[in-house]
Structure 1
Amino acid sequence: MLAGCAVLTAGLLAFPGAVPDSPGRLGSLLDTFLPWLGLVIVLLTGWALLRRSAVALLALLLPAAAWTQLYAGSLLPGAASGPRGLVVVQHNVSDENPDPAGTARALAGTGPDLIALQELVPAALPVYARTLAADYPYHAVRGTVGLWSRYPLTGSRPLDIRPRGITGPWNRGLRAVVHTPHGAVAAYVAHLPSVRFGAGGLASSRRDESAGMLGRALAAERLDRVILLGDLNGTVDDRGLAPLTSRLDGARRGFAFSYPAGLPLVRIDQVMARSARVDHIRALPATGSDHLPVAARVTLL
């Protein structure tokens, strides 16, 4: 039984796409928590040691090797940023944040070049703008998402990523050009629809539809260099985000679990890039949000 569980775990790690997405988006659910299969390996190893089962311990080399191949690199520190590096921060600040000024100061205190925010409500927006103005004189806001920058911004416009069936005001995407000392970069800020767990499984159809629309916008982007910052409500392993992960590269180092803030289990706040390398990503201390901020080092290629 132990050996069978070990082989099954190895199979899930090596071939998660073999698990069908229906019913209930089961495949996406597995993708979301795939790194945590490492804990299953630890538990199985303890069980095998208690049973003194040499066969099971040998079988456990399979999932251990698969997990190491997939995720061990995330445990390593990233290389220091080079001369063409940027530091960026991504944060869903929460529309119920009781201390927007404190949140803004905390984010600015990490010294990034770009700050992307989601769930900017009208009452809090002036507080963020005022608090960030000194260090980030350039900013663009469309609906409930915004971008603050040390460098000039041009061409700011909203992105149409609204899935069908959503009515009323709904603008959760923007695109702007950041004029860095190393050249122009197209910066995208997005907040994809939430997913829900229920009796029928994972409800992610609206998130997936919005990801497809964002993916098409990225495919049409004429600038080579692109940085996407957003609450994507999915991990980079989630097949529902394939329209994005097939076009952009994620972080090479760091887990940076960002949600929920009280007990972070997954990173749904992402920094991804094209013609640029996301060297390292890390979670920052909690603010007044239900998400943790994440900071990433990006090298422009």
Structure 2
Amino acid sequence: MTQVDTAETGQRGPAADDEGTRPAGGSRPGRWKRGPVLTTCALLLGLLLLLHGQLPEWAGLGSLVETFLPWFGLFVPVLLAGALWRRSASAVVALLLPVTVWLTLFGGLLGDKSHQGGDLTVVSHNVNADNRDPAGTARDLAASGADVLALEELTDRSTGTYETELAKAYPHHTVQGTVGLWSKLPLSDTRPVDVLWDTAGPSAGKPRPEDVPVEPTRALRTTVATEKGPLAVYVVHLGSVRVMPRGGFWTDTRDVGATKLAGAVAADRSARVLVLGDFNGSMDDRAFDGLTSQLRSAQDVAGDGFGFSWPAEFPVVRIDQILVRGVEPKSAWLLPATGSDHRPVAAGISW
């Protein structure tokens, strides 16, 4: 055994290793063999991001993961800190997988893609049925200068307030059930759109749960007459999601509505289409594949950042959407919070 002098005693003792903490005879694992748990976690994180679409929908697992998918990137710095602390080369290299996949999925959202101009400004806002100041919310929205204003979660009590407060700025409007559209431009061909649970069609074989009530109309379709031609506009508030004590993350009413809405948009022969509203889900969720295959998100194309809109106090997910077909988003942004639990979303579009 190698010996070294001991200053105080003159005795010779075992030498410390290169880190000064372990005798040379007690060898440490090499840098490529350290941190096997961290390496495994990094690889699993990368596979989760890469193959999230293959997750089973058992108890809504797939939808739940996809709703918060961007936030899984926060595990990367945590794992990196652990890898550096353990001096694990294998864990650092393994982290290249989740970093690459995350940047591929979401890196395009990090920069500002907005441009000046736009022929029309549109705003969508879930005003919240429990909003204590609908008049103030209406004034805030009118101050945005939007040409077209879509509102969701209207109630019998609040609708009159919005009609009164918005009448001057928006001479044209329509309300169907709990959704409405206010416009500076004329409207025509207005009709409700069925996105509700039923016992036929997309929801066949899925009986309505006892605690899911029969609801009023939650979507409409109208035509806005612009100087450059007609624009078909859908306003929608898809069914809520909820955590069920025995059923997990329950999304059935929302998913049925998404399927029906995708069918309505596919059948619409209009050259230019906007779909505005509260979708109660992120566009990363597989439930919206039928919509994202036909429409583009204004935030993804022309926004700055992720555009998280809910909850208003600390937004963590974008469930309020502006989707387009046949027009070009020039910019997309969030408006300041109102009396609602959602943030309003806005976009400038161009022909």
Q: Same fold (TM over 0.5)?
A: yes
1:118 aligns with 2:152: yes
Other-structure match for 1:236:
283
1:107 aligns with 2:158: no
Question: How far did residue 299 of structure 1 move?
Answer: 3.0
Of 198, 207, 218, which aligns to 1:172?
218
The answer (yes or no) to whether the contact 1:173–1:190 under 8 Å persists in 2 is: yes
Moved more, 263-272 or 197-206: 197-206
Other-structure match for 1:216:
263
Of 162, 171, 177, which aligns to 1:143?
177
The answer (yes or no) to whether the contact 1:255–1:281 under 8 Å persists in 2 is: no
Of 289, 292, 299, which aligns to 2:340?
289
The answer (yes or no) to whether the contact 1:195–1:204 under 8 Å persists in 2 is: yes
Other-structure match for 2:244:
198
Moved more, 284-293 or 28-37: 284-293
The answer (yes or no) to whether the contact 1:271–1:278 under 8 Å persists in 2 is: no
Distance in 2 separating the partners of 1:149 and 1:72: 35
Q: Following TM superposition, where does structure 1 have runs of at least 4 consecutive aligned residues deviating by more than 4 angstroms? A: 166-169
Pair 1:280–1:9, CA change in 2 (3 A): farther
- AA matched with 1:174: L
Consecutive unaligned residues of structure 1, counting only runs of 5 or more, are none
Moved more, 241-250 or 206-215: 241-250
Pair 1:221–1:81, CA change in 2 (3 A): farther
Other-structure match for 2:314:
263
1:92 aligns with 2:143: no
Pair 1:40–1:281, CA change in 2 (3 A): farther
Moved more, 280-289 or 87-96: 280-289
Deviation per CA, 1:164-190: give whole Å up to 9, x if none: 246655111110001122221100000
Number of residue-to-residue matches in the alignment = 298
Identity of aligned residues (%): 47
Consecutive unaligned residues of structure 2, counting only runs of 5 or more, are 1-36, 199-207
Of 168, 181, 191, which aligns to 1:157?
191
Pair 1:241–1:2, CA change in 2 (3 A): same
Question: How far did residue 145 of structure 1 move?
Answer: 0.3
Distance in 2 separating the partners of 1:158 and 1:6: 48
Distance in 2 separating the partners of 1:87 and 1:49: 48
1:7 aligns with 2:43: yes
| 1:124 alignment partner, SS class | helix
Other-structure match for 1:277:
328
1:38 aligns with 2:66: no
Deviation per CA, 1:130-182: give whole Å up to 9, x if none: 21122211111111100111211111111111112466551111100011222
Deviation per CA, 1:257-279: give whole Å up to 9, x if none: 11122221111111101112334
| 1:98 alignment partner, SS class | coil
Other-structure match for 1:16:
52
| 1:285 alignment partner, SS class | coil
Pair 1:46–1:279, CA change in 2 (3 A): farther
Structure of higher CA gyration radius:
2
Question: How far did residue 298 of structure 1 move?
Answer: 2.5
| 2:157 alignment partner, SS class | coil
Question: How far did residue 66 of structure 1 move?
Answer: 1.3
Other-structure match for 1:227:
274
Question: How far did residue 110 of structure 1 move?
Answer: 1.8
| 1:134 alignment partner, SS class | coil
The answer (yes or no) to whether the contact 2:313–2:341 under 8 Å persists in 1 is: yes
The answer (yes or no) to whether the contact 1:90–1:116 under 8 Å persists in 2 is: yes
| 2:341 alignment partner, SS class | coil
Distance in 2 separating the partners of 1:27 and 1:60: 23
Question: How far did residue 18 of structure 1 move?
Answer: 1.6
TM-score under structure 1 length normalisation: 0.94
TM-score under structure 2 length normalisation: 0.81
Other-structure match for 1:182:
228
Distance in 1 separating the partners of 2:89 and 2:166: 59
The answer (yes or no) to whether the contact 1:77–1:280 under 8 Å persists in 2 is: no
Calculate the aligned-residue CA RMSD, in Å.
Answer: 1.6
The answer (yes or no) to whether the contact 1:256–1:283 under 8 Å persists in 2 is: yes
